[in-house]
Structure 1
């Protein structure tokens, strides 16, 4: 199997998670410029906004970047058309079945890495022509599945053998990267660590909420409407739980509250009354740093960890 970096033309095997209200052009461009794969979040965006975002990213970097399509938002066809018109060659998908879009993406000689919650779905994606899969454990922020990153990554890597498996959820330093490698992953997807970056185009209050958080700062809501999501404990969480427990509220209605609230929190910095998301690994994030420093530090630490593990062979 070709190395992930060679397959995608990137320096480091790291993706920036497509975080609503956070993975905007400034962050995407910074991650790609630093050698990773920046991924534009498009959930809730209209096609022409996505077109403008892509063009803005191209002003920030000439290195590879991609875009995420949230299938359930209802305008996936229109968004993918715009992305392909603008020359996007790398896609991730989530929140729905991506299989109907594979032919269109591959016809444009682009690659698609669906984000999946189980080894079974990862295998299904491989069997149907995906170029790779991102297996995301429940430690992640935002929308999640029910499997942990450790169990999910290992089981997916054991049965998905012809395409890269990318581990996501609970990875924020070099130790996490090495753990992902040990479980069989070809690379990692990171979200929380990039929230606390200088280039993340979000309010300082949002970043500070992450820096101040610990490993018990989040809670999962949305399971009853089949849209579980990890978020910080605040007034918005109380409302989210109430909506989730209301039998008259379906997933679409819950998302109609969730997505705009996420965007407002990131934009306006109200971390008390709006939804704020980050992963359980938040306790490792103690400062806001440049993206380039975050990536280089993570991989330097990963190399140190690998060298230190050599002692176990003796």
Structure 2
């Protein structure tokens, strides 16, 4: 399947893996790229040399394109921005800030820059500063989120910019992918579905929490701080939301959540840890390989789009 995104990134299928902190490491990124999508290493707040090691490990496992997601509010962002150039990374996605100060450096190195955006205003700004494409991420996504849903955000951003748009948030199967393309997207970003793959190195407790999730289990904490985060409800989210309602300070809330994602992903503490996952968690019921996930999404999407085209002719 060829689109502007596959042509831009040199990949087989227009499917990008989300750059999830503590989850998107070299095993997962390499597996997604080998399967024809674009694997992403999530740099998050990790030290720059850890990112360099991850890049080299991916290269040992695949010769196909992959990318690095840089969280721009990280204290290591400047160093990571240079390392992706030194290590000849082909694609960078960005979040939690604006990559404008790195654009010249990355462009001269031939890196494709794809910011993750949650508003039309930010999308236009990123296009002006030289972005090659955009990930329009709806509030259905896991982790840090905006307010607009994927259904309304994607078409607005498609209409507002000339560069290709990748849809994200709530996409876990061929139905979501087909909808994204009908909204004008040229590719999709998938996060939560890849968390539960066989190649994903997250703790089995984390995977099991997603596999058991129901539609009512998705909760958003941190709205009062201006940094909302979506995850699965547990003892930590219950306590966090209670304290938010009581008017707890930012410092108190940050202390409650500190280290929570690592506890869940690495240690398997899905009770007091932060089990970041999108609303699509309730749609995931089995653990597949990255190859199987991509193939199933493509098969379902192709069948649905073909069916829609046939019905339109009738």
Deviation of 1:154 after TM superposition, in Å, equals 0.6
Partner Cα distance (2:71, 2:265) in 1: 19
Taking structure 1 as reference, are residues 80 and 258 closer, same or farther at Cα in structure 2, changes over 3 Å only?
farther
Q: Count the aligned residue pairs.
A: 311
Partner SS, residue 219 of structure 2 = strand
Structure 1: unaligned runs, 5 residues or longer? none
Partner Cα distance (2:62, 2:7) in 1: 19
Structure 2: unaligned runs, 5 residues or longer? none
**Which aligned pairs between 1:114-193 and structure 2 lie closer than 5 A?**
114-161=115-162, 163-193=163-193
Deviations 1:82-103 (A, max 9, x none): 1211111200000112222211
Taking structure 1 as reference, are residues 51 and 258 closer, same or farther at Cα in structure 2, changes over 3 Å only?
farther
**Which aligned pairs between 1:52-91 and structure 2 lie closer than 5 A?**
52-91=53-92
Partner Cα distance (1:112, 1:240) in 2: 35
Partner SS, residue 273 of structure 1 = coil
TM-score (norm 1): 0.94
Taking structure 1 as reference, are residues 124 and 61 closer, same or farther at Cα in structure 2, changes over 3 Å only?
same
Deviation of 1:238 after TM superposition, in Å, equals 3.0
Partner Cα distance (2:254, 2:46) in 1: 14
Match of 2:287 in 1: 288
Partner Cα distance (1:39, 1:263) in 2: 18
CA contact (8 A) 1:44 1:259 kept: no
Match of 2:241 in 1: 241
Match of 1:206 in 2: 206
Deviation of 1:160 after TM superposition, in Å, equals 1.0
Match of 2:232 in 1: 232
Match of 1:18 in 2: 19
TM-score (norm 2): 0.94
CA contact (8 A) 2:28 2:200 kept: yes
CA contact (8 A) 2:45 2:76 kept: no
Deviation of 1:244 after TM superposition, in Å, equals 5.0
CA contact (8 A) 1:34 1:295 kept: yes
Partner SS, residue 113 of structure 1 = strand
Deviation of 1:194 after TM superposition, in Å, equals 0.4
Superposed CA RMSD in Å reads 1.8
Partner Cα distance (1:216, 1:60) in 2: 39
Partner Cα distance (1:258, 1:32) in 2: 32
Partner Cα distance (1:15, 1:279) in 2: 16
Partner Cα distance (2:135, 2:49) in 1: 27
Partner Cα distance (1:106, 1:235) in 2: 45
Deviation of 1:242 after TM superposition, in Å, equals 5.6
CA contact (8 A) 1:122 1:156 kept: yes
Deviation of 1:76 after TM superposition, in Å, equals 0.8
